Structure 1
Amino acid sequence: MPTETKPAETATPLSTATVDPAKRITPAQSLEQYTGDPNFMTSLARGLAVIQAFSQQTRQMTISQLSVKTGLSRAAVRRCLYTLTKLGFAGAEDGQRYSLRPKMLTLSHTYTSSNNLSSAAQPILERMSAQLRESFSVATLDGDDIVYIARTTVNRMMSVDLHIGSRLPAYCTSMGRVLMAFQAPEDVERYLSRVILTPLTPRTVSSTEKLRMLLRNVRRNGYAVCDQEFEVGLRSLAVPVFSPAGKVVATVNLSGNAPRMPVMDMQTRYLPYLRAAANELSVFLR
């Protein structure tokens, strides 16, 4: 069994590195690959890009700010906001700074209520949280990010307020590493060739070769431990959820305070619970 890691060193989290603007691909640029496709609804795609531009850090934005963030023209952003406002999904109290409206929740509810895995996961996580008094999550892979589809929180440990629909980078999270490790080898290599390893803390993995080794270990061990790579003081453990065909479609995760939850304790006490939950979820995929 792996030995416990050394106690966390006292360190101040590094600020998120800024990606070179010249290398950043805007939502508008990502839509260029569909140019010439007669069945592709560009207007719908632009509207979705505007919706996804809002976040916890940018809850209100002007047309100009949205234009910069999405790469869409001001005219295109204005039309998207006009439509979203008319339908009740967005609005601007002062006529300038737009924000999303509660009606947007109906979209997420439609997904969670119609997705077997999401609807099945929530009561399982709630049962574990009630029994163990810890926070658990289930996530799937979307591009290079993980997306939370179920979550329970006992004690908030992170500076980021995570909820269903939240996205985090795969490379520095235990759930992301589980989901990436069980991809086809060629998909893993494509990911490693494009991923930008932004240092979020002094412990964040810094080289693609090291990340490749970590992913091999995850696949061999059947679980991933991420020790303060996403946020100082946060330690997490994740296991895969397999479909009947043997494909990993989701991951179950435990997150806790690093000083309170040693790695050895996570592996010996909590790993069996996570694996049992993953097996239970797999049943709903049959």
Structure 2
Amino acid sequence: MPSAKLKNVVNSHDDPIFVQSLGRAVRVLAAFQGADGPLSLAEIASRAGITRSAAQRIAHSFRELGYMRLSSDGRGFLLDLGILDLAYDYLRLNPLLRRASPVLLELRRNVRERVDLSLFDGQRMVYAARMQSKREMFFATLIGNSVPTFCTSGGWAVMAMLPDIEVDRLLAAADLRPVTPRTLTDPQSIREQIALTRQNGHALAVEQILMGEVALGVAVPGPDNRPIAAIHIAGSLSEWQPEEFRRRVAPLASEAVNAIASS
């Protein structure tokens, strides 16, 4: 799910100091979001909304700089290690992640379930730290993976800290497609979960993103007391009843958020 900022790059023509060529280059990198494999120049051009010749020049430049490479069969392009270097530096220099890392490690030791930290980015929650349990799929373990805000425990926790008018705007703009057969897509049902989250201080989501999973989320506030992230703890319904899971992990998740906020 591309970020709102990347989606808006194409609409920046009226900004007098916006570098249009840089915007096109960023759209080429963003073209790989959600791709299932290498992309041809025609696919890059189509996804980035640029001409094929522009895609060719930009892709060549990124290859020279170490940010893109040819696939093994030479028929398409993939992102290269330079991108991972940038991601590492983002994570290394992020002050929230530096404060949160020891707290998340201790939380993972205590709950013995998957612990994640996701960053709030409007319509999506982007995973920036992931401490896995024994039950994981490949893509679910990757930093940078994102899930919709409207149907996740962390998303509900974040929205619970926002004024109702902002929640209404988020829901009005959301792509309310179900992720699982149990995903809540009715705005009023989502608002009810947000109300429960405000009452309880945490959100509990059952099979909203993954069947067989229960997840508890607590929002992490920023300096202005607006939500900037969320801690998620996820367990298996084959091992936990939802209310038992809530009683076990909610106090620990709340303590972790308080420790991060006060550090």
Tell me which moved more, 146-155 or 184-193.
184-193
Separation of aligned partners in 2, 1:126 and 1:246? 24
* Structure 1: runs of 5+ lacking an equivalent: 1-23
1:267 aligns with 2:246: yes
- Compared CA separation, residues 256 and 159, structure 1 to 2 (3 A): farther
- Secondary structure at the aligned position of 1:161 is classed as helix
2:51 is aligned to 73
TM (norm. structure 1) is 0.83
The Cα of 1:118 is off from its aligned counterpart by 1.0
Aligned residue identity for 2:63:
T
Partners of 2:50 and 2:185 in 1: CA distance: 33
Q: Give the AA of the match of 1:141.
A: F
Summarize the Cα distance change of 1:126–1:229 in structure 2 as closer, same or farther, 3 Å threshold.
same
Which region of structure 1 is more displaced relative to structure 2, 106-115 or 129-138? Answer: 129-138
1:55, distance to aligned residue in structure 2 (A): 4.4
Describe the SS at the equivalent of 1:171. helix
Match in the other structure for 1:15: none
For the 8 Å contact 2:120–2:230, the answer to whether it is kept is: no
Post-superposition CA distance 1:215-265 (Å, at most 9, x none): 222223211111001121121100111234322221111011122121112
Per the alignment, residue 15 of structure 2 pairs with 37
Change (3 A) 1:25 1:145: closer
Equivalent position of 1:49 in the other structure: 27
TM-score by length of 2: 0.90
> Per the alignment, do residues 159 and 233 of structure 1 end up closer, same or farther by CA in structure 2, a change over 3 Å counting?
farther
- Confirm whether residue 249 of structure 1 aligns to residue 249 of structure 2: no
Residue identity (%): 27
Q: Which blocks of at least 5 consecutive residues in structure 2 are unaligned?
A: none
Q: Which residue of 1 aligns with 2:85?
A: 106
> Greater shift after overlay, 39-48 or 51-60?
51-60
- Partners of 2:29 and 2:251 in 1: how far apart? 39
Partner of 1:21 in structure 2? Answer: none
Match of 2:182 in 1: 203
- Give the equivalent residue in structure 2 for 1:239: 218
Q: Is the 8 A contact 1:179 1:251 kept in 2?
A: yes
Partners of 1:197 and 1:126 lie apart in 2 by 33
- Establish whether residue 228 from structure 1 lines up as the match of residue 191 from structure 2: no
Shift of 1:95: 3.6
Q: Does the aligned pair in 2 maintain the 1:237–1:253 contact within 8 Å?
A: yes
Q: Secondary structure at the match of 1:205?
A: coil
Partner of 1:134: 113
| 1:61 corresponds to which of 28, 35, 39 | 39
Question: Which protein is richer in helix relative to its size?
Answer: 2
Tell me, yes or no, if structure 1 residue 145 matches structure 2 residue 124. yes
Q: Tell me by how many angstroms 1:56 deviates.
A: 6.5
Cα distance in 2 for residues equivalent to 1:251 and 1:281:
11
Kindly indicate whether the alpha-carbon contact (under 8 Å) linking 1:157 and 1:257 is maintained by their aligned counterparts in 2. no
- Does residue 84 (structure 1) correspond to residue 66 (structure 2)? The answer is no
Q: What is the CA–CA distance in structure 1 between the aligned matches of 2:7 and 2:160, rounded to whole Å?
A: 29
Identify which range, 240-249 or 166-175, moves more after superposition: 240-249
Instruction: Report the 3-state secondary structure (helix = DSSP H, G, I; strand = E; otherwise coil) of the residue aligned with 2:76.
Output: coil
Q: d(CA) in 2 for partners of 1:38 and 1:114?
A: 30
Q: Which has the higher contact order (CA 8 A, sep 6+)?
A: 1
Q: Is the CA contact (8 Å cut-off) linking 1:60 and 1:99 kept in structure 2?
A: yes
